[in-house]
Structure 1
């Protein structure tokens, strides 16, 4: 499949230089980078919120799901 991607000139030049260093085409380099990026994003799980010790707690304990729900409800507008 063909597609058009608008890259900033400095990034395009860096990609061309890297492709030349590796003796690969720009297409091959971009495919590899995209595949690596997609594989990495699949393998990373959402980060857990830090645990707060019980001592000195002034609010009732909430589960991770409850905390994420609060963040989503009151996130940036």
Structure 2
């Protein structure tokens, strides 16, 4: 199947040099690279943060417009810091 890919000239030059050194076509080099990336992705799926929300109603009304420092102070209140 034919497709068009837009890559930087510098990357294309390097890819052509590598393909020539290895005695393969640019198409073969690109396919090899894509196969590797796909294989890596299958082995190591992207990290997904688990849902860690809790049942609540958000910030206390007195902290709705407070600074981040005020929120942190409240969070650590009574914890020795």
TM bin (shorter chain): 0.5 to 0.7
Deviations 1:23-71 (A, max 9, x none): 100000000000110110111034487xxxxxxxxxxxxxx4317xxxx
TM-score when scaled to structure 1? 0.60
Distance 1:40 1:24 in 2: 23
Give the structure, 1 or 2, with the largest relative contact order (CA under 8 Å, sep 6 or more): 1
**Dislocated runs of 4+, deviation >6 Å:** none
What's the C-alpha RMSD, in Å, of the aligned pairs? 1.8
Runs of at least 5 residues in structure 1 that lack an aligned partner in the other structure: 50-63, 68-77
CA distance, structure 2, for counterparts of residue 3 and residue 45 of structure 1? 27
> Structure 2: where are the runs of 5+ without partners?
54-81
How many positions carry a matched residue from both structures?
53
Structure showing greater radius of gyration is 2
